[in-house]
Amino acid sequence: MNIDPETLSPLERYNLMIACIIPRPIAWISTISPEGVTNLAPFSFFTGITANPMSVCFAPVNSREGVPKDTLINVKATKQFVVNMANEDNAEAMNQTSAMYPYGVSEFEKVGLTPLPSVKVRPPRVKESPVQMECELLELVTLSEGSLGGNLVIGRVVMFHAHDGVWNGGKMRHQDLKAIGRMEGAWYARTSDAFEMARPGLDKRTPPETK
């Protein structure tokens, strides 16, 4: 099958991408408006970029009507955001924050989540998230306007937080983090079924059997 993306509608391209780029880690992004109203929403077009400087990116797309997400509006205004990692323990609450609340409504309050003061940025962290990264905006790229128009938000991590239960002396393990990933449609993936492979020439350990 050969497909020219230009022959597809934006929604068809989106559905194609989320069906094959899997699993996708979930950034639970907290922001704050200039008026001080908090916002919280999940994004799975998200990844780390580099360790020097420690930076991450996520891509909030416009609505089908071409309206920017509340998260994007706040990031443009304040130049700050927090990445809170979603996992099995907070999955249901994370999903509830994806509802389309009007701008100016706090998902923290609607869903009953606990805001924690950040150290270096204004947006609060999510207490229920095992890992939180305070970020300052490095660059914002508008890829397209209109329906499902793409935007790339690049942020520098200026403060990192982890619950004691997952920190493990700085050697964090997926077994403790219990991260989840976004799949196609309404499907999610756990990271409990993992396997290890040694990199050729770099790691002489014998990989354990696949579990």
pLDDT of residue 204: 56
Give me the CATH number covering residue 28.
2.30.110.10
User: How much is the pLDDT for 92?
Assistant: 98
Domain count, the chain: 1
The confidence score (pLDDT) of residue 46 equals: 98
Distance CA(48)–CA(55), nearest Å, equals 6
- Which residue range forms the structural domain that includes residue 76? 5-190
Q: What is the pLDDT of residue 113?
A: 98
pTM comes to 0.92
Q: Is residue 75 in a domain? A: yes
Rounded to the nearest 10 degrees, how much is the dihedral formed by the CA atoms of 178, 182, 183, 187? 80
pLDDT at 146: 86
Give just the sign of the alpha carbon dihedral 126, 116, 111, 14.
negative
For the chain (211 residues), the mean pLDDT of every run of 10, in chain order, is 96 95 98 98 98 98 93 98 98 97 96 98 99 99 92 99 95 96 97 92 59 47
Q: How far is 165 from 125, CA to CA, in rounded Å?
A: 17
What local confidence, expressed as pLDDT, does residue 201 receive? 81
| Residue 94 pLDDT | 98
Q: Which of 63, 44, 41 shows the shortest CA–CA distance to 107? A: 41
Q: For residue 211, what pLDDT is reported?
A: 47
Let me know if residue 184 belongs to a domain: yes
What is the DSSP annotation of 49-102?
EEETTEEEEE-PPPPTTSPPPHHHHHHHHHSEEEEEE-BGGGHHHHHHTTS-PP
3-state helix, strand, coil in the chain (%, to 5): 25, 30, 45
Residue 69 lies inside a defined structural domain of this protein: yes
